[in-house]
Amino acid sequence: MNRKLFIKEGFTLIEIMLVIVIISCLVAMVMPRLTGRLEQAKISTAKMDITVNIPTALKLYILDNEDFPTTEQGLKALVTKSTTTPIPENWNGPYLEKHFLDPWKSEYKYKCPGAHRTYDYDLYSLGKDGVESDDDVVNWE
């Protein structure tokens, strides 16, 4: 006697719904933790730019030109030679590969001489909200 075995293939609707519920629960538990980490990573990146990357370029600029770029010249003077006075005669850049933005896609703010650091410059990011507030990442604290 030959018996044919019939195998029922596929998933039932209940099984699929159960998998969707389990995945949804896992996403609901993990997402808040990941979004907090993402914001921490952006803050760390901004701190690194403000305390290491841009200041290194500014130090190279001052070695060549004997002074920092003015507020009007801004950080763009690290990428292309400024045409506003005082024109840097010994410009040997670019000191940065590109004019970069903070992690929130806004320009870093630069003032020379600084209001907080009157001996050189203020360098800061307005942070996530884009306005001066407690979430700013600054070089004077």
Query: Could you give all domains of the chain from N- to C-terminal order, each with its CATH number?
Result: 18-138 (3.30.700.10)
- Write down the pLDDT at residue 35: 65
- Write down the pLDDT at residue 38: 81
**Each residue's pLDDT tens digit in the chain (141 positions)?**
555 555 566 677 787 888 888 888 788 777 776 666 788 889 999 999 999 999 999 999 999 999 999 999 999 999 999 998 899 999 998 999 887 899 999 999 999 999 999 999 999 999 988 888 888 999 998
Determine the Cα–Cα distance for residues 27 and 34; give it in Å rounded to an integer.
10
pTM for this prediction? 0.72
CB 135 within 8 A of CB 39: no
Which residues, at least 6 apart from 27, have a Cβ–Cβ distance to it below 8 Å? Answer: none
